[in-house]
Amino acid sequence: MNRSIAYLQFELVRTVRNRRVLVFSLAFPIILYFLIAAPNKNEASLGGTGISAPLYFMIGLASFGTMNAMLSSGGRIAAERTAGWNRQLRITPLTTREYFRAKVTTSYMLALLSLFALYAAGIILGVDLAIGNWLSMTGLIIVGLIPFAAMGILIGHLVTADSVGPAIGGTTALFAFLGGSWFPITGGGFFEHLAKDLPSYWVVQASRSGLGEPHPWGTQGWTVVALWSIVTIALASRAYKRDTKRV
């Protein structure tokens, strides 16, 4: 137990000292939030969604920041692999389970930091929700991020430290764009169908929970998030096993 905590602390120190990660997970979404949401502060139903602009963009940009935070483990893993440090860790008593638990916990802590910072920014722009709705919204976002926790580990085992930055940035941008982080995807066309098959869409849809909707995801949302979770976890564990078999 002690060694798990020691390793987690160490991971947190490394993460907080990585300026790039902090910029993309925290500073960037908050600045964009004020730039995009402030001019539309009084828009009560953004794009006919029934969600106010400050609330929609709060969760939209939080989805961007938290996805970045979840994938940041990929950067740390790729750096460790490039340096051969993962092999050094494998000859310590630290177990594989403890290793990944620390990686995922660090990502989630960074993601929650990003999320709470955007909540604070949202409150400044007039987002006012019941306490229970804040909590259920946060819960859905945490669940919706599970596939991104696995994707971080997957990316970390597939690319080298040199290319992990663009890999993480590109993955986040793609999921954010197609999932509706920047603007609502409506109209029933191809892009809306595509969006509904992505976990990022459902992270953004958690904002409906903030409005007090009891089942904002419905069966489709839970199914999509569950399938993405299963597939990404399977791929990540395969990538890890393959990586440990080579010289």
Partner 1 sequence: METATTTDREIRLTGLTKSFRTPRGPVHAVQGIDISIDRGQTVALLGPNGAGKSTTIDMLLGLLPPDSGSTTIFGRTPADAVAAGAVGAMLQTGAVIRDVTVRELIAMMASLYPHALPVDEVIGLVGIDDIADRRTEKLSGGQTQRVRFAVALVCDPELLVLDEPTVAMDVEGRRAFWSTMREFASRGKTVLFATHYLEEADDYADRAVLMAAGHVVADGPPTEIKARVGVRVIRATLPGISTEELGELPGVTNAERHGEGVLLRCADSDVAIRALLSTYPVARDLEIRGADLEDAFIELTSVTA
Where along the sequence are the contacts to partner 1 (CB under 8 A)?
2-3, 6-7, 9-10, 13-14, 17-18, 79-80, 82-85, 87-88, 90-94, 244-245, 247
DSSP-derived 3-state class of residue 246: coil
Between 9 and 45, name the residue whose CB sits nearer to partner 1: 9
Between 74 and 184, name the residue whose CB sits nearer to partner 1: 74
Q: Are 186 and 49 in contact (CB under 8 A)?
A: yes
Cα end-to-end distance, the chain, whole Å: 30
| Nearest-approach distance from CB 246 to partner 1, in angstroms | 8
C-alpha 202/C-alpha 207 separation (Å) is 9
Between 21 and 195, name the residue whose CB sits nearer to partner 1: 21
| Nearest-approach distance from CB 100 to partner 1, in angstroms | 15
| Nearest-approach distance from CB 227 to partner 1, in angstroms | 33
Between 4 and 186, name the residue whose CB sits nearer to partner 1: 4
What does the DSSP assignment read for 146-177?
A: HHHHHHHHHHHHHS-TTTHHHHHHHHHHHHHH
Q: Please give the sequence-ordered ranges of beta strands (E in DSSP) within 3-112, or none if there are none.
A: none
| Nearest-approach distance from CB 160 to partner 1, in angstroms | 12
